[in-house]
A and B are shown apart, each in its own frame.
Chain A
Amino acid sequence: MKLGRHGIVAVLLASTLGGCVADRQYRRGAPVVSESLNVGEFDRTQTGNLSGRYSLAFIEFDDKGQMFEPAQLDRAIAEVRRARTSRAGAKPSIVLFVHGWKNNASDGSANVWGFRQVLAGLALNSTLGGQAEEVVGIYVGWRGATISAPVLKEFTVFDRHHASQRVAKPVMIGTLQRIMDAAKDRVVSSSPATMVLIGHSFGGAVLETAVTPALTQAIHDARTAKTTVSWPADLVILLNEAQEGQESKPLLDLMAKEVKPWTCAKPSGLADYPRPAVISISSTGDVATRGYFPGEQLIARPFQKKKYSGIAGAKLYYETTAHNGTLRSHVFGRTDDPEIAEAATKCLPTLISTISYGATDIEYAVVPDPDAANKTPYWVMHMPPAIVPDHSTIFTQIFRDVIISLIGQALLNERRNELIPAAP
Chain B
Amino acid sequence: MRDSENAARLLALMLCVMSATPVGAQIPDLPVSRLALPPSVMSDDAPLEAASIGSAGGQTLLGATHTQDPWSGRPVCAPMFLKADWQLSSKQRGCNWLQNGVLSTGRIFTTVASTLFSMVLDLPSEHGDGFRVRFGRKWLQGAAATTGEYVGSLIAHEDPREIPPYLVLRPTAPPRGFFPRFGAAVARTVMSTQCVDPCRATDIRKRIGLSRVLGALASGVTGAALNQNQGGTDDWNARAWHGTLTAYGSAFAHQLLSEFKPEAARLGGRLFRLFGGS
Contacts and interface: CB of A to CB of B under 8 A. Distances in A.
A106 B31 CA distance: 9
A82 interface: yes
Give 3 closest A-B pairs by Cβ, nearest first.
A78-B54, A108-B27, A110-B80
A318 B276 contact: yes
Contact of B74 (A75, A113, A315, A319): A113
A37 B26 contact: no
Contact of A298 (B63, B84, B276): B276
Interface string A163-200: 00000000000000000000000000000000000000
Interface stretch (B9-17, B122-130, B150-158, B185-193): B9-17
A36 interface: yes
State the majority secondary structure of interface residues on A.
mixed
Interface stretch (A6-14, A202-210, A407-415): A6-14
B86 A37 contact: no
B125 to A, nearest CB: 25
Contacts of B169: 357-358, 360
Given A11-B16, A38-B71, A389-B163, A291 B266 contact: yes
Given A78-B63, A110-B78, A398-B165, A38 B69 contact: yes
Interface string B5-33: 10011011001101110111111111010
15 contacts: A14-B19, A16-B19, A18-B20, A19-B25, A31-B32, A33-B65, A36-B69, A75-B61, A78-B53, A108-B29, A113-B80, A151-B108, A286-B265, A314-B278, A398-B168
Given A14-B15, A396-B165, 5 more contacts: A37-B71, A75-B61, A285-B261, A285-B262, A362-B171
B262 A385 contact: yes
Contacts, number: 289
A145 interface: yes
Interface stretch (B196-204, B214-222, B232-240, B243-251): B196-204
Interface of B: 5, 8-9, 11-12, 15-16, 18-20, 22-30, 32, 35-36, 46, 50-57, 59, 61-71, 73-75, 78-81, 83-87, 103-105, 108-109, 163, 165-171, 173-174, 176, 198-202, 261-262, 264-270, 272-273, 275-278
Contacts of B266: 284, 290-291, 323
Contacts of A12: 15
Contacts of B28: 106, 108
B273 to A, nearest CB: 4
Nearest to A136: B64
Contacts of B275: 298
Contact of A148 (B25, B59, B167): B25
